[in-house]
Amino acid sequence: MAVPQPTPPVDATGFLPMSRAEMVARGWDELDILIITGDAYVDHPSFGAAMIGRVLEAQGYRVGIIAQPDWKNIESIQVMGRPRLYCGVTAGNLDSMLSNYTAGRHKRKEDVYSEDGAPGKRPNHAAVVYCQMARRAFPGLPVVLGGMEASMRRVVHYDYWEDKLRPSIMADAKADILVYGMGEVAIREISKRIRDGNLDLSGIRGTALFLGAKATAAADFKDCIILPSWEEVQADNKLLLRLTKVVEAQQTPYAGKHLVQMHGTRALFQEPPAFPVDGPDLDALYELPFMRAQHPSYKGKVPGFATIKDSIIVSRGCPGGCTFCGLGFHQGKFLSSRSVDSVLKEIRKLTESDTFRGTVSDLGGPTANLFGAKNGHVDPCKSCHRPSCLWPTICPYFGIDEQKGLDLLRGSRAQPGVKHVFVQSGIRMDVALRTPEYLKELVQNHVSGHMKVAPEHMHPDVLRRMRKPAGDFPAFMEKFHEISEEAGKEQYLVPYFISSFPGCTEKEMGAVEQFLRKENWNLQQVQDFIPLPMTGSAAMYVTGLDINTEQPIPVVRNAGDRERQKRMLRPNQDPRPKSKWEQDNLDRVD
């Protein structure tokens, strides 16, 4: 009878350490910085914890990662000991409430950023919970909070899943500093100051501090914009609309002002946004030594990584300003693109992987066809507070570089070992119609049979509240099918529409239903509206006011009305009763 052999130790060479054994393998007796994340550890630039970890490693710091700790057990974040400098905290790539709950406020059946998609591995309000854990586990150690959840909850905001207003996340998290936005520049400066014994963390762009009562009383806020306070918004929730519009208007590193929001006797003090990382500095970030793999301690797959493991991020920032989206508050509206050479270099590295089968699944970013486009490059941009460069019309100063996009597409599919290169990220149809050669190249050579597009709605009033252009989708459809037919390819569009958006009743939803019937479309997935924290759509949902006119609009809130709007997006579907699983997952968008 064979004697069972002990499980060999995990070979994590190349990954940031997750255990004491991995620290010892590197010859470390302590960490400089510990990062706690609500996602499984995937060493890929699309995962925030990995990106920040690699940036700090490149600065010479010893960085470890605790991924999805047991929040009921304080020892789960102590396995690598007390870090020398500070503890960094992120809830992960998504807001933890969005990760945990559907639009119907049901618990999700899957968490795509967990091993095997297992739900329940991150707590609600994970950023707050992890910060509090770090405080208890490492008394006196600075705590730095960042990531999407921190960015989108940095001021007073509405939490849809709890159906209530909440103060700045800093009031509950008790972190020393909050980093909003992409964070690579801010985290270098924070780390340098703490390393040098300077605990004054003020004056760092892209950060916010929660001042104590004495510091607040002594501060001079004369050159700051004073936002409605926590108490004022609680007393009159209509102030949330003004608050949102002011924060959004100041989301510019070129002309943004300091923001102050009182919480009792304490002030949330926000610095202007950081300037976007661009040029060689952006290339350098994506050329850090990522393993492009999930940590080998995981036996199952992390679904969120499996879908993007053969993809390449080519740009950052989103100038669209859509009111339902948080990208403008996190990545910012100013675009930055990698050089074509840097992207091609990463593709060549990807082809060396044992798991690569010849297909680059995506060349993307927030908006794939804005690669090479520019804003913020001329003086009028630097004084502009418009939330969108593309709505209500494309700004005349917005620079579209069709040739750079063509160079990227053609160069990528010419790389040795590459059979196919697809573009799966969303595109701006209004920009695509202005770049006919790029659109032809895209449709003829870079569509995998199905192309995802997001018209979001068909009623002009709803589109205006979304800050989405009206009328582009039919023109884009016609051009897409014309180019596909010329290429001799049978290809299809997969459109996404949003139901139950503020100002959308069944009457407005009828415009979408009529369109779907005309095209004989039966959508497989429906994007049921979720008012994400700090977005314009959340402000409209709470206040019942149009973000553009500030006039009253109808808002669908109860489950029955929301369900009827979802069903209108399936006009050709058998109206049989849905199972509980189907109900829980109708709002899923993959």
The pLDDT assigned to 589 comes to 35
Decide if pLDDT at 103 tops 80: yes
Decide if pLDDT at 475 tops 80: yes
**pLDDT grade for 582, boundaries at 50, 70 and 90:** very low
Decide if pLDDT at 8 tops 70: no
Decide if pLDDT at 378 tops 80: yes
Are the C-beta atoms of 424 and 448 separated by less than 8 Å? yes
Q: Using CB atoms within 10 A of its CB, is residue 550 exposed (0-12), middle (13-18) or buried (19+)?
A: middle
**Amino acid occupying residue 387:** P
**Amino acid occupying residue 156:** V
Topology, domain 453-590: Transcription Regulator spoIIAA (3.30.750)
Residues 53-79: what's their mean pLDDT?
A: 98
The pLDDT assigned to 572 comes to 63
The pLDDT assigned to 491 comes to 95
Residues 49-55: what's their mean pLDDT?
A: 98
The H or E element containing residue 150 is helix 148-152
The pLDDT assigned to 522 comes to 81
Q: Which of 2-16, 256-270, 281-295, 296-310 is predicted least confidently?
A: 2-16
Share of the chain above pLDDT 70, in %: 95
Q: Using CB atoms within 10 A of its CB, is residue 496 exposed (0-12), middle (13-18) or buried (19+)?
A: middle
Task: Give me the numbers of helices (H) and strands (E) for the chain, helices first please.
Answer: 24, 22
The pLDDT assigned to 150 comes to 97
> What is this structure's pTM?
0.93
Q: Which single residue is written with the structure tokens 């995962």?
A: 47
Torsion of CA 450, 454, 460, 461, to 10 degrees: 150
Domain boundaries, the chain: 20-203, 310-448, 453-590
Rg (CA), the chain: 24
Decide if pLDDT at 64 tops 60: yes
Decide if pLDDT at 9 tops 70: no
Domain with residues 310-448, CATH architecture: 2-Layer Sandwich (3.30)
Q: At what angle do helices 472-486 and 436-445 cross, to 10 degrees?
A: 60
**pLDDT grade for 525, boundaries at 50, 70 and 90:** confident
**Amino acid occupying residue 398:** F
Which of 369, 549, 552, 555 minimizes the C-alpha distance to 464?
Answer: 549
The pLDDT assigned to 586 comes to 41
- For the chain, how long is the longest CA-to-CA vector? 81
Residues 81-99: what's their mean pLDDT?
A: 97
**pLDDT grade for 573, boundaries at 50, 70 and 90:** low
Decide if pLDDT at 346 tops 50: yes
Q: What's the DSSP call for residue 368?
A: G
Q: How close are the terminal C-alpha atoms of the chain, in Å?
A: 48
The residues near 488 (Cβ < 8 Å, ≥ 6 apart) are none
Residues 573-583: what's their mean pLDDT?
A: 43
Q: Which residues pair with 63 in a beta bridge?
A: 33
Q: At what angle do helices 340-351 and 279-286 cross, to 10 degrees?
A: 10
Fold identical between 310-448 and 453-590?
yes
Are the C-beta atoms of 533 and 163 separated by less than 8 Å? no
The pLDDT assigned to 570 comes to 81
- DSSP for 30-80, written as a single string: S-SEEEEESS--EESTTSHHHHHHHHHHHTT--EEEEES--TT-GGGG-TT
C-alpha 192/C-alpha 33 separation (Å) is 12
Q: Which single residue is written with the structure tokens 């460069």?
A: 389
The mean predicted confidence, pLDDT, of the chain is: 93
**pLDDT grade for 10, boundaries at 50, 70 and 90:** low
Which of 524, 520, 467 minimizes the C-alpha distance to 494?
Answer: 524
**pLDDT grade for 160, boundaries at 50, 70 and 90:** very high
Topology, domain 20-203: Rossmann fold (3.40.50)
Decide if pLDDT at 1 tops 90: no
C-alpha 583/C-alpha 214 separation (Å) is 51
Residues 502-530: what's their mean pLDDT?
A: 91
